Amino acid sequence: MRPLGGGLRGGGIGLLAGLTLLATGQPACAGAWNLPKGQGQAILKYESIRADEAFSPDGDRVNLPGDRRDSAASLLVEYGLDERFTLQMKGEWQGGRDAFVDYQGRGPLEIGVRWQAYRDARNVAAVYVGYAHGGEGRNAGYAAPGAGDHDWEARLLAARNFGVDGRGGFIEAQAARRWRSGLPDETRLDLTAGAPLSPGWMLLGQAYAGAADDGGARWLSLETSVVRRLGDWSLQAGWRTAVAGRETPAGQGPVIGIWRRF
């Protein structure tokens, strides 16, 4: 199965940008912003993407021979090692089905460190370096979609808060290079913008783009979601749609997340 570009694997850690201030005046603690020393957060997410069309090698929409479904449940944990370094770990359970394959199994296991290179009252820049071990599918002969046997990733993150204590919202950009064993290497770009709706509520707009080095798969997906903060908990609900690409499904579907700070 080809990975669902910009879907289950396209976001990288770009989704972490969602819980910055949420109009509460508290320090940002996700995405490019590092966690304070001794503090952490866990993010449980579920994504269900369906497609009956795909983007051809020329970028045109074509019908698939059968409906395709991709789903993933993931758990990401971050922990502040000190004021400049945050540890990040992630695991997934993935499933997929189309006209040719019925797949279910453990997705990639990832571990990495994010270094806070710069930070002032409104701006922040960081560098992430991580390693991922490929998944183990239950359908013989198939690995988890989108993961090589051993992957390495380097990611640059930059963001800016607007207004007093970020109450005016934020914007963040992430650029990543992923070196994949057994699959073509990839370049990825994630963009996120957040606007507070009211105290404790935030509207997010996100874009995930990427391209494989072999000239094959390319993708661009857009996502809109709402995040509600309830003390140490936050809930996210959104919808993701693939709007352009090559050799990748034209999928769409819901994204649900539960966040817990500790």
With b for 16 or more beta-carbon neighbours within 10 A and e for fewer, the 179-211 pattern comes to: ebeebebbebbbbbbbebeeeeebebebbbbbb
Instruction: Copy the structure tokens of residue 116.
Output: 């806070």
What SS3 state is found at 227? strand
Torsion of CA 142, 133, 224, 226, to 10 degrees: 120
CA pair distance 175, 209, nearest whole angstrom: 10
pTM: 0.85
Backbone angles phi, psi at 200, to 5 degrees: 90, -5
Q: Is-contact 202 230, C-beta < 8 A?
A: no
Question: One digit per residue, pLDDT tens: the chain, 262 residues?
Answer: 344 444 444 444 444 544 544 433 444 445 788 889 999 999 999 999 999 999 999 999 999 998 999 999 999 999 999 989 999 999 999 999 888 888 889 888 999 999 999 999 899 999 999 999 976 654 434 444 455 578 999 999 999 998 755 567 899 999 999 999 888 999 999 999 999 998 899 999 999 999 999 988 999 999 999 999 999 999 999 999 999 999 999 999 999 999 999 9
Q: Which residues contact 184 (CB under 8 A, 6 or more apart)?
A: 212, 213, 214, 216, 217
